[in-house]
């Protein structure tokens, strides 16, 4: 049996035994990741009816489902991913590569000059298994999400990003604290214990940070999925 086959079998076995996978199937969520956002929102009270929300790395749609339900038909949900996503009621989906300027122009068209209340990012790089490669790619995606947030968030808006503990994490937190009133770290129960992933919740966007534009070298292809 090949190493890839063994890895796939381990993944399938883990999925079969995962209580959050079973719960998501029973409750109709598209992914177990929905419970990460539910816990974050319960603690930080991010979502309310009437909000305008951008969900980065949305496919297959678990986070967008949670957002749409909590907005209760009042507000707007824009979902973005490199991968296709089946339609969801109350959600506008934009497919493409978040690292490309053309896609950002499409987002601007959907926003039609309006500012957002919340930007969510569950994006992650294609994992190579080499921390020296995966860590900077993860931080780069967070920087891109922050750059976009500084352009599209209204005063007092919020940002949630997934990242990994490691090199570049502390400078990212410092930059978030410069641009937001409050920044906290969350490790939801639905986040697997052996995963280095963590979520940074930044609340209270400072408009003075809007002029900041972060740049960096391209870090290769990314997979943006919840």
61 is in an annotated binding site: yes
- Residue 5, pLDDT above cutoff 70: no
pLDDT higher than threshold 50 for residue 183: yes
Q: Tell me which of 36, 43, 162, 214 is the catalytic residue.
A: 162
Residue 84's pLDDT is what?
95
Annotated ligand binding at 122? The verdict is yes
Residue 9: phi, psi to the nearest 5?
-65, -40
Higher-pLDDT residue of 71 and 165 is: 71
Domain harbouring 139, CATH code: 3.40.50.150
Would you call 67 helix, strand, or coil by DSSP?
helix
Number of domains observed in the structure of the chain? 1
pLDDT of residue 173: 96
Is 117 one of the annotated binding-site residues?
no
22 is catalytic: no
Domain boundaries, position 185: 32-223
- Residue 18: inside a domain, yes or no? no
Q: Tens digit of pLDDT for each residue in 86-142?
A: 999 999 999 998 788 888 888 888 888 899 999 999 988 666 566 656 788 889 999
* 119 beta partners: 54, 159
Nearest-angstrom CA–CA distance, 218 and 211: 22
Residue 85, domain member (yes or no)? yes
pLDDT mean across residues, the chain: 84
Greater pLDDT, 17 or 182 = 182
In the sheet that 52-56 helps form, which strands lie side by side, from edge to edge?
91-95, 76-81, 52-56, 116-121, 153-164, 197-205, 180-186
pLDDT band at 9 (very low <50, low <70, confident <90, very high): low
């Amino acid at each position: 049996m090949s190493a890839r086959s063994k890895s796939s079998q381990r993944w399938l076995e883990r999925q079969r035994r995962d209580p959050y996978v079973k719960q998501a199937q029973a409750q109709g969520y598209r992914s177990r990741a929905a419970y990460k956002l539910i816990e974050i929102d319960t603690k930080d009270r991010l979502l309310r009816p009437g909000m305008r929300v951008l969900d980065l790395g949305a496919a297959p749609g678990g986070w967008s489902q949670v957002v749409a339900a909590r907005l209760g038909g009042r507000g707007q949900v824009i979902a973005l991913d490199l991968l296709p996503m089946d339609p969801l009621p109350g959600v506008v989906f934009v497919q493409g590569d978040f690292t490309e300027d053309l896609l950002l122009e499409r987002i601007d068209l959907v926003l039609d000059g309006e500012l957002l209340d919340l930007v969510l990012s569950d994006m992650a790089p294609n994992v190579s298994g080499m921390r020296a490669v995966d860590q900077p790619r993860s931080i780069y995606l967070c920087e891109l999400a922050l750059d976009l947030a500084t352009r599209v968030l209204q005063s007092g808006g919020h940002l949630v990003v997934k990242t990994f503990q490691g090199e570049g994490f502390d400078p990212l937190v410092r930059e978030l604290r410069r641009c937001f009133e409050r920044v906290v770290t969350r490790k939801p129960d639905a986040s697997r214990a052996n995963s280095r992933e963590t979520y940074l919740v930044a609340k209270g966007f400072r408009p003075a940070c809007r002029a900041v534009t972060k740049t960096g070298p391209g870090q290769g292809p990314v997979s943006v999925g919840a």
